[in-house]
Structure 1
Amino acid sequence: MKKSRSNNLLEGDIPQTLKKMTMPMIWGMVMLMTFSLVDTFFVSMLGTSELAAISFTFPVTFTIISLNIGLGIGTSAIIGKYLGSGESEHAKSIASGAIMLSVVLVGILAFVAYIFTTPIFSAMGATEETMPFIQDYMGIWFLSGVFLAVPMVGNSVLRANGDTKTPSIIMAVGGGINAVLDPLLIFGLGPIPAFGIQGAAIATAVAWAICVVWILYLLAVQRQLIEPKLLNFNDFKQASSGVLRIGLPAAGANMLTPIAGAIVTAIVASYGTEAVAAWGVGSRLESLACLVVLALSMSLPPFLSQNFGANKWARIEEAYLLCMKVVMAWQFFVYVLMVVCASALAGVFADEEIVQDYIKLFLFIVPLGYGFQGIVILTNSSFNAMHLPMSALILSVIRLFACFIPIVYLGSNLFGLFGLFWGCVIANLITAVISYMWFKRLLIKNRSENIVSEVV
């Protein structure tokens, strides 16, 4: 079966292959995004202070999620290349080491963040009014972040083998469990006490804990893609070294996003609690609006990694350009849809008129740049898939710290929130152009080198 999947990625029709890999990911991502979106909806029913508190948590929670994403990228890239080049014997130990590595690194990061919860959120602009709610939520969420590590990296192992359906099912079930538990634990029912904002974090922790058991059984027993035991230190060190080489720069690149988000959140906080609440709603709607991009960022890398291992550059170029066209067309449709539904969405997530106005302003402007942002995300994941993690890291630095933060800050100073939101669009446009030109030059260079080597 592994061989068949590998051959499909190396020889199958490119549009059909990517469609078959991406469609399950889209449905899985819809459910995964409900984690933050459902939390936001039910917490918004508690009040504006609670909604602002959970809005402050997004950059921090996404920092830990980004570490998981980075390690998953490294895992998928290494295993995918081995499969593409016909060297599958190392995949099992690599997968085992990657999962162990994710638990250790995420556990350390979550513990440090827990210790410094108050200083971190104070620096972001959290007030005495919102800080108790932030502490209640994050105290539990840090534990769920550790639980999240195993399913995310485990799903990367499955995707590297060409299976995107099973990871989608796991994400969907996890999202469903979270959605069911959220109202029960936040508001209480019968003997179940009302935990308030803390209940949202407990629901997430329980959902991912169930997924941990599921994915470990699937990988170790049913599929036998990992060792059914802990690796000794030497084996662990050897297995995780390749993952770290790609995973750490990838994680660093992904973690820059919430760091930049925290800086922008601090800028938004200068406009008041209502603006932070609206920004938090918009950020979570952005995750759902960009689900096709996120799904492609998970399904495209295994395809590229295997074809990279097989030195099939024409297939890499065709797949990359196809995904760019799909992303631009889809995100324009999403923008039109969000503009039409802006008033309804604002009414769902906020009762105060000023918060609704801020949400509508966000939806009229920021989603216009989601297509450009998608090009950057897919180019970044393509670099990682082709074992160029430093290029991905440099691209992220350019996007966030040379374009995004400076332009957003300038826009905010000149035109207030209106300028801040337009700054997001302009920054994404500039970085998309850089991303596309950079990757095209890489393709031309490697294709030329491949032709020369074949002639020689």
Structure 2
Amino acid sequence: MHRGSSEDLHVLRKKILEGDIIRTVLWLAWPIIVANLVNMSYNLIDAYWLGKLGKEAFGAPTVSWPLIMLFYSIGFGFSRAGISLIAQYVGAGNLRMANKSAGNLLSFMALIALSISITGYFLSPPILSLMGVPPDIYPNAVEYIRIIFIGIPLSFIGFAFNTIANSLGDTRTPTYINIVSSFTNMVLDPLFIFGYLGFPAMGVKGAAIATILSRSIVSFVGSYLLFTGYHGIKITFSDLGIEKWWIKKVVSIGTPLTIQQSSNSLGFTIMMSIVSRFGSVAVSAYGVAIRIIDVLSAFTWGINRALSVMVGQNLGAEYYDRSKAIVKKTMWLTTLILAIGSVFIFLTRDLTVAFFVPEKDVIMEGSMVLAIFTWSIPFFGLFFLGGAVAGGSGHTKIFAIISIIRLWVLRIGLSYLLALVMGLGTIGIWVAMTISNIVAGLLALLWVFKGNWTKRIID
């Protein structure tokens, strides 16, 4: 495994600050795209095998993950603030402060993860009940979600390593480690779910255990690299304190992101409760559709992470005009990719839904979701491009407001109005999702072109 040196970091920095924009974006993005697909594979593989047990087992992770992400979002918001700081210090050539920021981030993520793990374990069953999870799914969901919460500290250390590596401009090393982790999950899932090769058949519980064990690989290998030397970053125990200057910066940058992400996750939890009112068929169709759309979104998430790194380092170096050019060219690239992907999803929607849950009622409902929702995906991409600019620049407040409007006013408000008040049923939910993406994408685009994010936030 290539650990990298400070000389390697200089080469990465030069490429990000001076290289051809599109080539550099793609060069940074493709390993992140692979890593995102790999990370998604945990849920996709779980979904594939659990679908063989029926829609009740398949629905357990579907109803659980919005709640899991509600707790995750607390850590993720501050993690994205870590990208802003580390990337801008690297862009400014201040490796000492980048190292200190990395150590503080690692400690902070560990502390947050422990508190989330304990809280989530005890609160998740009553919250799932309040969400109105269908009775035939609820027992499996409780079993699944509690195991995931036990393993959160291991997962969060891995997330911290990925953040630090990407901030430095190394998008490859985390991808290699995540591929090994995903392959491990792929092997363990059928063994633990169905009880092959002498293992006990654990069903939904087995899928959760396989996910936690495989994710721990990233945490252990990432920690080893950071403590033994990695691209000029070598964390020592003296770096692990959470210092006042770091907290002040991260709270300033990360609080709007954390509010936005917590609000999003809470909103998606409420969305799940609205969908749950229409039974396990609607839950399964929603789960299949979200997973299919996530696969396409993985490509733009990779590009957006690359965009955050490039914006962060270029702002740190005070290359403001180049930062604007990077955003503009990346916007056209993202829109093109998503437009092509949307057409493909629309044309193959029946086959892709049937791959996960080969039940006629689920296929019909899932196909309807995709037929309505697919055409808003390019706007969905523009919305997340705005998030990438906010995360890289550290100017997060306006995007947080747009994000809250998208979910709470447009998606949840319209879903409730159309599906429940006006009696349109699940069609009302799918239409509301589509409108929320289109409007939020246009608002994010207006903010990006206004350009008031083009100022670095480090001293």
Q: TM-score, normalised by structure 2?
A: 0.92
Which amino acid in the other structure matches residue 307 of structure 2? L
Residue 49 of structure 1 aligns with an amino acid whose one-letter code is: E
Contact 1:346 1:359 (8 Å CA) reproduced: yes
Instruction: Describe the shift of the 1:202–1:232 C-alpha distance in structure 2 as closer, same or farther (beyond 3 A).
Output: closer
- Matched residue, 1:431: 440
In the alignment, what sits opposite 1:387? 394
Match of 2:281?
274
The aligned counterpart of 1:453 is none
Report SS of the residue matched to 1:195.
Answer: coil
* Deviates further, 245-254 or 87-96: 245-254
1:6 pairs with 1, 13, 17, which one? Answer: 13
Q: Is the 8 A contact 1:380 1:395 kept in 2?
A: no
Matches of 1:177 and 1:146, distance apart in 2: 19
After TM superposition, the score normalised by the length of structure 1 is: 0.93
1:29 and 2:36 correspond: yes
Q: CA-atom RMSD, angstroms?
A: 2.0
Once the two structures are superposed, what CA deviation does each residue of 1:393-424 show, in whole Å capped at 9, x if it has no partner?
22221221222212222332443222221211
Residues 207 and 237 of structure 1, relative CA distance in 2, 3 Å threshold: farther
2:182 to 175, 184, 195: 175
Which of 128, 137, 142 aligns to 2:144? It is 137
Choose from 252, 257, 261 the match for 1:250: 257
Deviations 1:20-66 (A, max 9, x none): 10111111211111011111111111122112222111201222443
Please name the residue that 1:309 is paired with: 316
Decide whether the 8 Å contact of 2:117 with 2:151 is kept in 1. no
Contact (CA 8 Å) 1:186, 1:196: kept in 2 or not?
Answer: yes
User: Matches of residues 272-351 of structure 1 in structure 2 within 5 Å?
Assistant: 272-351=279-358
Instruction: Give 2:380's aligned amino acid.
Output: Q
Q: Secondary structure, in 3 states, of the residue corresponding to 1:227?
A: coil
Contact 2:380 2:437 in 1 (8 A): yes
Counterpart position of 1:189: 196
Task: Tell me the distance in 2 between the aligned counterparts of 1:126 and 1:230.
Answer: 46
Query: Shift of residue 237 of structure 1?
Result: 4.4
Deviation for aligned residue 1:19: 1.1
TM-superposition CA deviations, 1:267-287 (whole Å, max 9, x none)? 111211111111112122221
How many angstroms apart in 2 are the aligned matches of 1:125 and 1:383? 35
Q: Does 1:116 align with 2:123?
A: yes
Q: Deviation at 1:297?
A: 2.2
Q: Identify the match of residue 82 of structure 1 among 77, 85, 89.
A: 89
Aligned length: 446
> Is 2:416 the counterpart of 1:416?
no
Find the aligned partners of 1:16 and 1:351 in 2 and give their Cα distance. 41
Cα offset for 1:435? 0.8
Q: CA deviation at 1:73?
A: 1.2
Structure 1 portions without partners, runs of 5+: 450-456
* Aligned equivalent of 1:225, options 233, 248, 259: 233
Instruction: Report deviation, 1:92.
Output: 1.2
Shift of 1:191: 2.0
Q: Percent identity?
A: 24
How many angstroms does 1:240 deviate by?
4.3
1: CA distance, partners of 2:210 / 2:240: 34
Question: Distance between the aligned counterparts of 1:299 and 1:40, measured in 2?
Answer: 29
Matching of residue 126 in structure 1 with residue 133 in structure 2: yes
